Amino acid sequence: MSTVSHDVVDANDTRCFVNPVDIPLEKSERFKENGFIKIEGLLSPACIQALREAALLHVRSASDFDTNYGSEFKRLTYGLGQTGVLRRIYTANSFRKIVVSLIGNPLIMSEGLALELRKGETGFTWHYDSVSFRFIRPIDPGYSIWIPLNNIDPDRDGGGMAYIPENLLSGVFNYQLSSLLSKKISKGDDISAMSSSLQKVFSTSSLLKEIFEENKVEDEFSLGDVLLFTKSVWHRTSPLKQSGPNSRLAVAIRLLDWRSRLDSGMFEGETHSGGGMGMGVNWGNPKQTIYGSQFVDIADGDELRNSRFCGPII
């Protein structure tokens, strides 16, 4: 039995949560080109069960966050990274061997979140993870691991994710724009003209959407499969189809390169714009997460690992 209200994993539970998986060299090389890789069978059935219990325990109404996510996701939650099940995942030797080997450097565990998508909800439209990585420099690598807690059949059920290979189109440029524009705002400069032009290019009604849809990749996922992708991969939610289940639950883990440095200017800019600075849009101050604001003991440009508030390094 759990000893704290936010944990569903018994400290004496010795079940395997992360399976040893061999990644072929060819697939590893494609990850470097595309920016994403599906890792089959990484997590055990016991892990998926524990993740589902933790996600359902923490997830709550999206409307409670007072953001526009209420129409996109019925329920979501941040702060899942403090749960025992996620600690069991990212501290597992098999996890470190597979993920760190693919990426090539030690990583900082930052946060975890859970999202429940229901029929009739759109989920997130085309985006890169600007909010989740808004506090590190554009040059600093960041990664997400998406863990569906339902089987995903994109043709029959929907409910998965679509993503664009980075060798076709990358969000790196948008992170760079965000950092530059945030610095201009901090100096009191007017960026409205540039933002208006960017919005015409990157708004969902633009021609880019057609390009995204023509080049998207959607995979099937069985329970235990995960998707590892970089912070600059453009991706979107695939809404559930009428033939699909009534809801789909998923968990995402955010990871940072261990040499990442604080970018205070971009943090402020992307916080005030809700992650839209690099696309010329303002979605309002996001209230669903404050990760990044805790680094009060280091200066702009300092390494996050020098902060006592830095997450564990794996």
164-201 per-position pLDDT tens digit: 999 999 999 888 888 888 888 888 888 888 888 787 77
User: Could you give the CA distance from residue 128 to residue 186 in angstroms, rounded to a whole number?
Assistant: 23
Looking at every residue in the chain, the average pLDDT score rounds to 84
Amino acid at 272: H
Number of alpha carbons in the 13 Å side-chain half-sphere of residue 32: 9
Structural domains in the chain plus CATH codes: 25-306 (2.60.120.620)
Please give the pLDDT value at position 274.
56
Higher pLDDT, 209 or 48: 48
When pLDDT is cut at 50, 70 and 90, the band that residue 158 belongs to is very high
Read off the tokens for 293: 């604001």
Q: Residue 117 above 50 pLDDT?
A: yes
> Does residue 220 register a pLDDT over 80?
yes
pLDDT in tens, 26-35: 999 999 999 9
127 strand-pairing partners: 235
pLDDT of residue 254: 94
Q: Which residue has the higher pLDDT, 212 or 189?
A: 212
Say how far apart CA 59 and CA 158 lie, in whole Å.
21
